[in-house]
Amino acid sequence: MKFAVELTNSSKKFKQTIVINELSLQVRTGILFALIGPSGGGKTTLIKMIMGMLKSDTGTVTALNKKVPNKQLLHDIGYMAQADALYTDLTGQENLEFFGKMYAMSKKELQDRITYASNIVDLADHLSKKVEDYSGGMKRRLSLAIALIQDPPLLILDEPTVGIDPLLKLKIWQELTQLKNQGKTIFVTTHAMDEAEKCDEIAMLREGSIIATGTPFDLKQQFNAADLDEVFLQAGGETQ
Amino acid sequence: MKTLAMVKRIINQLKRDKRTLALLFLAPMLVLTLMYFIFESDDPKTTLVVTNAQPTVVEQLKKTSLTIVEKDQYSESKLKSSEYAAWLEFKNPSKLYLLNAEPSSSKAVEMAIASLSMQPQKQKMATTYVYGDKNTKVFDIFSPMLIGFFVFFFVFLIAGMALLKERTTGTLERLLATPIKRGEIILGYIIGFGFFALIQTIIIVLYAVYVLKIESVGSIGYVFLICIIVALVALSLGTFLSSFAATEFQMVQFIPLVIVPQVFFSGIFPLDNMAEWLQGLGRIMPMYYVADALNGVMYKGFGFSDIWLDLLILLGFSAIFLLLNMLGLKKYRAI
């Protein structure tokens, strides 16, 4: 499997607004891939199309060699939404257990995965607390732990590190790199250019189209920029 | 397995929400008790003032249900300032003044006087009550419907709100990003809330029958069966309608629109007197069948052969709502 995610001429229109416009994108298997772009540029819509939560109006979407939408495919995708979708009246442990049970796992396996995932996001000591007592960053971390719960080969994370302090952010990125080294494909959206810098490949999404792709190095050369911030600004300014 | 996880989660969540539990279990008892005392109080005594009456007529009047007060002098203005229902002035011709503050008292007076004219030929008649007996009160007739209504209302509200909360907080969308089937989500809701509806039903029915001593001629087992089906209809309708509400306040707005009209057609007001098109309207409301079945079992002592059609129609209602619900969930996941 060469590409973990592949979109060909995919579009999405809401009423009269075109959000994704004839977009084609290929994400190689086993890399850390960042989707960057301004707010309202269609990043979340694109993610939902890959997940099969939204159906592409045109073209095809393929993930892990399966044509989207496909319910079985969801088994193999760890998803973290932009907004924390957690049951705040339940504890962290109960949230993890509940979402974990959506994937075929033995009880033992589930407990092991809960321990693993909560350790990565540094929440192991707070699992018995109700989520309504969590801070914003803790909720974000719990969402990430839920995305990791079934040990999926493909991770799709919509702005995973918003509201997380620099130290933990570093730890999470180290872990994402580690997961990548295990052969997983990680697809993140981000606003933080220092994070995009850590990725193998970047695609820049603007007004529903991919305006630039490549390694961070490629992009900097292409735009003749010193850093990715400059690339972001230049690419953004180009079409204005 | 996934359904079971859903059920466990719903029970866990609701178990911790003590106030909602109180609403579910205690509020129906409170309202039922209140209505019991309001309707159980004796019929008000209707008092008739008579002037210039011959003693034999007064004797006969006293045999009716009316309380008779004899006066030498009386007037319309006195009637207004009194609490009496009517004044019968014997002269030529006699004249009856009805205060008509309570139309029911006026009717009672008119009936009593009408029966008087049939005297003295009137024979003592034997009366047989087909349903109930001479002590039957209004409350006996519509308390079965009340039981059904409580189950319907509270399950509708709580299940609808719960799914709405899942929509607004994004957990529903998150859940649909897992391989769960839409049917499993709905089934989880049915079993999870069905569990609480069952407890609620048991509490309400036992309280009504054994504490308030509401007459239940038929089998209590059928009462439970009906109430469970009521809960199913309420659950499917509540969760379905929640997809048309963006906020909890908008969910509450469905109450005057969906719940209140159903009460009108559930037996508080006699359906037979309604215009035909209104009766037809009642036929599309689940509460009509609920009231019919519950009243049939509890008051008329009906068995399964008399209520199966009501139950079937109710199951049909919930099947339709559940199907629509399943389709509605497609909004969150293409498959």
Q: CA–CA separation, B302 vs A209, rounded Å?
A: 68
Residues B149 and B93 in one domain: no
Q: Give the range of the structural domain holding residue B215, as residue numbers without chain letter.
A: 2-40+136-331
Q: CA–CA separation, A44 vs A81, rounded Å?
A: 8
The answer to whether the Cβ–Cβ distance between A83 and B1 falls below 8 Å is no
Give chain B's residues under pLDDT 70. 41-44, 117-124
pLDDT at A171: 83
Residues B97 and B176 in one domain: no
The answer to whether the Cβ–Cβ distance between B5 and A101 falls below 8 Å is yes
Residues B324 and B184 in one domain: yes
Position A55 pLDDT exceeds 70: yes
Residues B36 and B51 in one domain: no
Q: What is the dihedral of CA B261, B265, B269, B275, to 10 degrees?
A: 100
Does residue B117 lie within any of the structural domains? no
Position A98 pLDDT exceeds 80: yes
Please, what are the domains in chain A? Answer: 3-81+154-238 (3.40.50.300)
Which residues in chain A are contacts of B178 at CB distance < 8 A? 74, 99, 102-103
Supply angle C-alpha B286, B24, B260, rounded to 5: 35
Give the burial string for B37-64 (b: 16+ CB within 10 Å, else e): eeeeeeeeebbbbbbebeeebeebbeeb
**Contact predicate B186/B325, CB 8 Å:** yes
Which residues in chain A are contacts of B12 at CB distance < 8 A? 90, 94
Residues B218 and B80 in one domain: no
The whole-angstrom distance between A174's CA and the closest CA on chain B is 25
Tell me the HSE value of B284 on the side-chain side, using a 13 A CA sphere. Answer: 7
Residues B24 and B65 in one domain: no
From A196-200, A202-206, B36-40, B145-149, the region with the lowest mean pLDDT:
B36-40
pLDDT tens for A25-53 read: 999 999 999 999 888 888 999 999 999 88
Prediction ipTM score = 0.89
**Binning pLDDT at 50, 70 and 90, where does residue A187 land?**
very high
The answer to whether the Cβ–Cβ distance between A71 and B181 falls below 8 Å is yes
φ/ψ of residue A147, rounded to 5? -65, -25
Q: What is the dihedral of CA A46, A47, A53, A54, to 10 degrees?
A: 0
Which residues in chain A are contacts of B183 at CB distance < 8 A? none
Position A240 pLDDT exceeds 50: no
Q: Residue B88 in 3-state DSSP? A: strand
B176–A contact, CB cutoff 8 A: yes
Residues B21 and B152 in one domain: yes
Q: Which of residues 9-38 of B touch A (CB under 8 A)?
A: 9, 12-13, 16-17
* Helices B182-206, B138-169: inter-axial angle, 10-degree rounding: 150
pLDDT at A116: 93
B257 secondary structure, DSSP code? I
| Helices marked H in B89-137 | 103-118
Q: What residues are paired with A212 via a beta bridge? A: A204
Position A86 pLDDT exceeds 90: yes
The one-letter amino acid code at A130 reads K
Q: What residues are paired with B87 via a beta bridge? A: B49, B97
pLDDT at B117: 66
Q: Residue B32 in 3-state DSSP? A: helix
pLDDT at B234: 94
Residue pointed to by tokens 């300014």: A237
Mean pLDDT of A211-229: 87
Nearest by CB: B178 against A86, A97, A99:
A99
Residues B143 and B180 in one domain: yes
pLDDT at B119: 53
Residues B143 and B263 in one domain: yes
Question: Which tokens hold the place of A133?
Answer: 């007592």
Residues B61 and B207 in one domain: no
Name the domain count of chain B.
Answer: 2
**Binning pLDDT at 50, 70 and 90, where does residue A191 land?**
confident
Residue B316's alpha-carbon distances to A45, B217, B241, B323, in angstroms, are 38, 27, 17, 11
Chain B residue with minimum CA distance to A94 = B9
**Contact predicate A39/A190, CB 8 Å:** no
B332–A contact, CB cutoff 8 A: yes
H or E element at residue A203? strand A201-206
Mean pLDDT of A61-79: 91
Does residue B280 lie within any of the structural domains? yes
Does residue B178 lie within any of the structural domains? yes
Residues B56 and B19 in one domain: no
pLDDT tens for A108-156 read: 999 999 999 999 888 999 999 999 999 888 998 999 999 999 999 999 9
